[in-house]
Amino acid sequence: MMAFTIAICSNAQNSNKEIIAMRYLSPEIASSSNFKVGSEVKALRVENATDKSLITCPIICKVMQRRKSNIFGQEGYMVLRPLYIETPNKLIPLEHDDIYIRGKNRCNVKFWLSWTVIMVFVPGTGAKIKEEDRFVLTLK
């Protein structure tokens, strides 16, 4: 009985550190965007947090990997690492849990159409953060 109570308390402490992030309004972060691997971008913003002053603050992410989709059907992908929340007064660090985003892979469609005359170039789609995507991040 005692261990069960401790587990609830530790879970409650972690929920105070969790925030929900969503896509930043502008610019759109996609694998086809013109940014370099290793650069820092405002990719997300805080949608919900226990500290209400953090809501709508931008989240700075480091671009760890990025590949554009190509005409041969391979999907685009990105790996973003949330670094910190940018508030007017200070920077609030985040745990480094990477976010993996992928587009649609169309290589299989090309394989099955390869024996027909219709073998056309079916490009893969690029990776981007959609408006309905939500991410759970943890404060340090």
All structural domains of the chain with their residue ranges: 5-113
Checking if the pLDDT of 9 tops 50, the result is: no
What pLDDT score was predicted for residue 25? 77
Predicted confidence band at 55 (pLDDT cuts at 50, 70, 90)? very high
Is 105:127 a contact under the CB 8 Å cutoff?
Answer: no
pTM: 0.74
What is the DSSP track for 72-105? TSPPPEEEEEEEEEE-SS-EEEB----EEEE---
140 or 108, greater pLDDT: 140
110 or 67, greater pLDDT: 67
Predicted confidence band at 8 (pLDDT cuts at 50, 70, 90)? very low
Checking if the pLDDT of 109 tops 70, the result is: no
Average pLDDT over residues 56-73: 84
C-alpha of 75 from chain center: 16
Check whether the bond before 123 is cis (ω within 30° of 0): no
pLDDT digits 0-9 by tens, 17-42: 899 999 887 767 777 777 788 889 89
